[in-house]
Amino acid sequence: MAIGLFDVLGPITVGPSSSHTAGAIRIGLICKILLGERVKKARITFYGSFAETYKGHGTDKAVVGGLLGFDTYNEQVRDSLTLAPLSGLDAEIIASDITADHPNTVKIEAEGANNKISLAGISVGGGAIRISEIEGYKVDVACRCDTLLIFNEDVGGVVADVSGLLADHGYNIATLSLSRSRRGAGAIMVIETDQAVDDDTAAKIERTPHIIKLIRIPKL
Amino acid sequence: MIIPSIEYIVQQTKEKACPIWQVVINEEMADSGITEEAIRERLAQTYEAMKHAAAKGITTSLRSVSGMTGGDAAKYYNHLKAGDPLLGDFCSKAVSYALATSECNASMGVIVAAPTAGSAGIMPGAFIAAQEIFGFSDRKMVNSLITAGGVGGVISERASLAGAVCGCQAECGSAAAMTAAGICELFGGTVEQCMNAGALALKNCLGLACDPVAGLVEVPCVKRNGMYTVFAITAADMALSGIKSFIPFDEVIDSMNRIGREMPACIRETGEGGLAATPTGVAAREKIFGEKK
C-alpha cells in the first residue's frame, strides 16, 4: 500500500499519540466539513482502545477540536473542551463498552443550525484515518484523495451518468465503489478523484435524476 | 510513494547515478502528483516544526497531562550546559532535543510524528543537534530528511510503523533506522553506508516491546527517545567507519515484521504487559484513570 512521504514524516500534530490524538482530530474535522456549518451539538461515542484511554490521550479534546474546525497542528486542540461551550458547541462524550470492528473507533452524531450528520471513523495508525460509516451506510473512505460521496436511488444507469459527467468535465476517477442497504433501496457511491471536483460539476451531478445528495470530502 | 525495498532504492541510485533522496522524491512525485519544489517547501515547514517542538521542550518545563513525565529535558539540558555530560557535544545535544520533543508531545504540544508521535523525538534530536554543531545547510537537512522518509516508506511497505502491529521496534526502531540512514548521508556516507547504518540500528531494536504504562505515550517512551537518538548516531558512525551489517537491511525489516506479528498482544501497545503490568505501572494506571481496569 502506498504511504505518503508526509505520512512518514508527519503529520505535524499536537501529541501525545498519532493514532489516539492526530487521527481523532481528523475524524472530527471531516465530520465538521461534511456537516458544512458550525457544529452546535455533538454526541461522541468512543469504542475499544479509544473508550479505555481517551482521557490520557486527549482523544476527547481531539475530536471536539476537530469539530471546532481545528487541524492537527492547532494548539487550541488542548483547550477545546473549554472552548467548545464558548463557541456554542454542546459536546457529549460517551465511552461505550461494546466491541467495535476496529479498536480505535469513534462514532459522531453532529448537528448544526440546518443539517445533521452521523459518521463513524477509525484511526488506523500514524495519524491515518478511514471513515467507516456515514448516515448508517458502511463505507471505506481513506481521505487520501478528494472524494465524492453520492447518495442515490438504487436504479440502473446512475453510475454511468455520474462517471460520464466527471469524464466530460475532465476528472479522472481513481477509485469507485458502490454499496446499498438492500435491493432497490438507497445506495451510496464513493468516488475518489485525482483533482477536487469544482462547485459547478458537483451541482450538475446533484441535479442528475436519481441522485439524492452529494457530499465532497477534501483530501487531508 | 510505493518503494518495495531498500535494494530497489540502491539499484535506482546506481542506474540514475543519483543520491537516495532523489529516488525518494521521484517516487513521491509519481504517486502524489506534487512537484519537487512543493515537496521541499512542505518538508522545510516540517523541519521548522521539529525545531520549534525541541526548543519548546528545552525552554519550558513541560508536564504531561497525566503528570507521569516532564521536566527531564530541562534537567538534562542543564547538565549539558554545566559541562558535565559523559557523552560528547553532538550526542548530548541530541539527547536534550529528543527528550524535549517527546516531553512536548506528552504535554499535547505540537510535534512531527516521525514516523509516529511516540517516536517523535529520535529524528529531530540527531538532526537538529547535527545542524547546530556542524553547520549543515537547510537544503542538506531536507535532503537527509527525505532519505530518512524513504527508509520509513520501505519499512511501512514491508512491515509496519505501528506499535499496535509490531511493537516498539516498529516505532522507535523505525525512527532509529531512518535517523541512522539520514545522519550517515549528512556526514558524507555512501548509499551503501547509509543503508548499513539503517540496518545496524534496526537490527538492535528487534523484539522491542511496546508496553506503555497506563497505555499512555509517556513511560518508557520519553526517555527511550533520548536513548535511541544516540543509538542512531552510533549506527551511522559505525557505518561511516566501514562496518557493514551482516544481514541486509531488507532482511532485517522482514525479520522485524515476523517478530512483531509473533509478539503477544499484551506488548503491542495495549498497555497490559511488560512495564505496564508492573506493580508501579498498575498503580499509576489506577491513579490516573481512577478505577481498576
pLDDT tier, B94 (very low <50, low <70, confident <90, very high otherwise): very high
The pLDDT assigned to A124 comes to 85
ipTM score assigned to the predicted complex = 0.94
**In this structure, are A98 and A25 located in the same domain?**
yes
Cell 538534562 appears where?
Answer: B76
Query: Which residues contact residue A141 at a Cβ distance below 8 angstroms, ignoring those fewer than 6 apart?
Result: A130, A131, A134, A147, A149, A190, A217
Residue A17: CATH number of its domain: 3.30.1330.90
Count structural domains, chain B: 1
**Does B291 score more than 80 pLDDT?**
no
Residue B53: CATH number of its domain: 1.10.4100
pLDDT tier, A182 (very low <50, low <70, confident <90, very high otherwise): low
In a domain, A197, yes or no: yes
Over residues B55-65, the mean pLDDT reads: 87
- The domain boundary residue, chosen from A93, A123, A141: A141
Tell me how close the Cα of A142 comes to any Cα of chain B, in angstroms. 15
- The domain boundary residue, chosen from A141, A172, A204: A141
Judged by a CB distance cut-off of 8 A, whether residue B110 touches chain A is: yes
In this predicted model, what pLDDT tens digit does every residue of B128-185 receive, in sequence order?
999 999 999 999 999 999 999 999 999 999 999 988 889 999 999 999 999 999 999 9
Q: Provide the domain limits for residue B25.
A: 6-289
The pLDDT assigned to A192 comes to 93
Tell me how close the Cα of A30 comes to any Cα of chain B, in angstroms. 20
B177-206 residues touching A, CB cutoff 8 A: 178
**Does A194 score more than 90 pLDDT?**
no
- Tell me how far the alpha carbon of residue A190 is from its chain's centroid: 12
Contact B115 A8 (CB under 8 A): yes
Q: Provide the domain limits for residue A164.
A: 146-217
Q: A18: which 3 cell numbers?
A: 498519532
In a domain, B1, yes or no: no
In a domain, A176, yes or no: yes
Q: What is the mean pLDDT of chain A?
A: 92
Contact A15 B108 (CB under 8 A): yes
**In this structure, are A189 and A205 located in the same domain?**
yes
B2 → chain A, closest CA residue: A2
Pairs of CB atoms within 8 A across A/B: 146
Residues of A with CB under 8 A from a CB of B: 1-19, 21-22, 49, 52-53, 55-58, 61, 73, 75, 77-78, 103, 125-127, 194
Share of chain B above pLDDT 90, in %: 88
Residue A160: CATH number of its domain: 3.30.70.260
Q: Tell me how crowded residue B32 is: count the other CB atoms within 10 A of its CB.
A: 17
More confident residue, A188 or A84: A84
pLDDT tier, B26 (very low <50, low <70, confident <90, very high otherwise): very high
pLDDT tier, B279 (very low <50, low <70, confident <90, very high otherwise): very high
Over residues B67-81, the mean pLDDT reads: 94
Contact A57 B217 (CB under 8 A): yes
B138-157 residues touching A, CB cutoff 8 A: 145-146, 148-150, 152-153, 156-157
Q: A192 and A149 in contact (C-beta within 8 Å)?
A: no
**In this structure, are A121 and A177 located in the same domain?**
no
Q: Crossing angle, helix B191-203 and helix B249-262, to 10 degrees?
A: 20
In a domain, A3, yes or no: no
Count structural domains, chain A: 2
Q: In this complex, which of B1, B105, B289 lies closest to A2 when CB atoms are compared?
A: B1
In a domain, B35, yes or no: yes
**What are the percentages of helix, strand and coil residues in chain A, rounded to 5?**
35, 35, 30
In a domain, A1, yes or no: no
Over residues A131-145, the mean pLDDT reads: 89
Tell me A62's DSSP state: H
In this predicted model, what pLDDT tens digit does every residue of A104-113 receive, in sequence order?
899 999 999 9
**In this structure, are A17 and A97 located in the same domain?**
yes
In this predicted model, what pLDDT tens digit does every residue of A20-51 receive, in sequence order?
999 999 999 999 999 999 999 999 999 988 99
**In this structure, are A31 and A117 located in the same domain?**
yes
The pLDDT assigned to B293 comes to 45
The pLDDT assigned to A1 comes to 58
- The domain boundary residue, chosen from A100, A125, A141: A141
The partner residues of A41 in beta bridges, in order of sequence, read A90, A111
The pLDDT assigned to B32 comes to 85
Q: B120 and B166 in contact (C-beta within 8 Å)?
A: no
Query: Which residues contact residue B241 at a Cβ distance below 8 angstroms, ignoring those fewer than 6 apart?
Result: none
Q: B109: which 3 cell numbers?
A: 504540544
The pLDDT assigned to A106 comes to 97
Over residues A123-128, the mean pLDDT reads: 86
In this predicted model, what pLDDT tens digit does every residue of B198-247 receive, in sequence order?
999 999 999 999 999 998 999 999 999 999 999 999 999 999 999 999 99
Contact A15 B105 (CB under 8 A): yes
The partner residues of A111 in beta bridges, in order of sequence, read A41, A116
Residue B273, amino acid = G
Most confident of A190-204, B37-51, B258-272: B37-51
Over residues B20-29, the mean pLDDT reads: 97
Contact A73 B156 (CB under 8 A): no
pTM: 0.92
Q: What is the mean pLDDT of chain B?
A: 95
**Does B195 score more than 80 pLDDT?**
yes
Over residues A143-172, the mean pLDDT reads: 92
Strands B110-112 and A146-153: unpaired
